[in-house]
Amino acid sequence: MMSLLSAAGSRRPAVRRLGFTLVELLVVIAIIGVMVGLLLPAVQAAREAARRMQCSNSQKQIALALHNYHDTHGVFPYGFKNEVAGQMKRRDTWFHQLLPFVEQTAFYEAYQNVEATYGMTAEYIHNLPVEFAGRPVATFMCASDPAGPARGGGGSDRGFQGNYAVCSGGGTPTTPVLASIPAGTVIDLTMIREDAGGVFGRQSRRGFRDCVDGTSNTLMISEGIIRGSTGGAWGELGGYWGGAPHGSYGFSTGEAPNTTVPDRVYSCKSTTFRKAPCENGNADGLPGRWNFARSYHPGGVMTALCDGSVSFISDSIDRQTWRNLGNRADGGVLGTWN
C-alpha cells in the first residue's frame, strides 16, 4: 500500500514503465498454478461422476428390461438354467434371456438358432466361437471399469464378460448370525443353488409376488469388477458364457460392497487383483461359490432394486442391512441404507 500511495503521490511523467516486472509475472503464474491445482482433482472427480451416471443408466435399462420380461412372461428370468444332459445351450443365463428386451433382438434370434449354425459346439455355450459369444453388449458394461470390453469368466477368452449381475441373496439362514463363540449356525452364502435368499438362482422362477419384503426393499442388480480384459477362469462375475454354474451369473450380499473378503469361484483370473481379491474354490478345495458387489466408484456400488429404482449404496452399510436388502423374504426391518 505504501509503495502504491507514494507512486501516486510523486508524479514523474518522464518515467513511465510499460509491461510487468519478473516478480509480478512469477506471482501471477504461482496463483494460476494454485487455481489449476485446486481444479484438477475436481475435474477428475467430475469425470468419475459422469461414468457413474452412465453406469446408473445401464442398470436402469437392465432393471426396466427385467420388468418388461416379467410383463411378457409373468416371472423374472432364471439366474441360470439347470444343466440337463443331452440338452443344447447348457449354462444359459438371464443375460441371454434378457437380450430381446435390451434391443438385441437380432442377436437373440441368432442365439436361438445357434444349434443350426454351430452343431454340437452349441451343447455348452462356452464352446461357441469368439465371433459369436465374444460380442460385447454395451448395456452390460460399466464405464468405470477399464477392463471393458472384456472376455472371460467362462473358461476361455471366447465369451463376453460384463459388469452386471443379478442378486442371488444374502445366504441362509437370513437371520443375523454373529461370528458367535462357541460357533453355532454358519451362514451359507453359496449362490449356485435354487434359492440363496434372493430373487435369482438356479432355474429360479420368481416374480414380483415373491418379493415379500416389498420390491423397494429387495435388490435385483448390482455390479462387479472384471479382473483384467482376458484370462479365462471359471465363474468370475459377469462371465455369462459358461461360468454361471460356477458363480458368474450373480452376486451375493453376504458381505458389504467392495469388501476385502475374497470372492470364491471355481477359478480366478487373479487372486490378488486390486479392490477385488478372489479365491480359487476348486484348487483350494473350498466349499461354496460367490461373488460380492464391487466397483470403481469411490465409496460404494450402484444397485437396482426390484421396483426398478437405481441407487448408490455405500461400502459402510451394515452387513445385516445389506443381507436383508438382498434377501427377498427375510422380514427384517431395514436400517438406514441410502
- The DSSP line for 1-15 is -HHHHHHHHS--TT-
Please provide the size of the chain in residues: 338
Of 304, 338, 321, which is closest to residue 56 (Cα–Cα)?
304
Residue 54 Cβ vs other proteins, minimum distance, rounded to whole Å: 26
174 binds other proteins (CB under 8 A): no
212 binds other proteins (CB under 8 A): no
**From CA 113, how far away is CA 111, in angstroms rounded?**
5
Q: For other proteins, how many residues bind (rule: CB under 8 A)?
A: 45
Of 315, 266, 281, 271, which is closest to residue 295 (Cα–Cα)?
315
Stretch that binds other proteins, among 102-110, 206-214, 215-223, 265-273 (CB under 8 A): 265-273
Report yes or no: 109 and 130 within 8 Å, Cβ to Cβ. no
Residue 320 Cβ vs other proteins, minimum distance, rounded to whole Å: 6
Closest to other proteins by CB, 112 vs 316, is 316
- Contact with other proteins (CB under 8 A): which of 79, 171, 250, 262? 262
Residue 78 Cβ vs other proteins, minimum distance, rounded to whole Å: 19
Q: How far apart are the first and last CA of the chain?
A: 53
What sign does the dihedral 282-285-287-291 (CA atoms) show?
negative
- Contact with other proteins (CB under 8 A): which of 84, 116, 181, 333? 181
86 binds other proteins (CB under 8 A): no
Residue 285 Cβ vs other proteins, minimum distance, rounded to whole Å: 4
Closest to other proteins by CB, 97 vs 280, is 280
Check whether the bond before 129 is cis (ω within 30° of 0).
no
- The H or E element containing residue 57 is helix 22-73
Longest dimension (CA), the chain: 103
236 binds other proteins (CB under 8 A): no
Q: What is the residue whose three cell numbers read 473350498?
A: 286
23 binds other proteins (CB under 8 A): yes
Of 208, 193, 204, which is closest to residue 306 (Cα–Cα)?
208
**From CA 289, how far away is CA 309, in angstroms rounded?**
28
Which cell numbers hold the place of 206?
420368481
Which cell numbers hold the place of 61?
435399462
- Contact with other proteins (CB under 8 A): which of 145, 210, 263, 279? 279
- Contact with other proteins (CB under 8 A): which of 178, 203, 275, 331? 178
Q: What residue type is 76 in one-letter code?
A: F
30 binds other proteins (CB under 8 A): yes
Residue 228 Cβ vs other proteins, minimum distance, rounded to whole Å: 18
Residues between 143 and 172 that touch other proteins (CB under 8 A): 155
Residues in touch with other proteins (CB under 8 A): 3, 23-24, 26-27, 30-31, 33-34, 37-38, 124, 126, 155, 176, 178-179, 181-183, 186, 234, 242, 245, 255-256, 259-262, 266-267, 272, 277, 279-280, 282-286, 316, 318-320
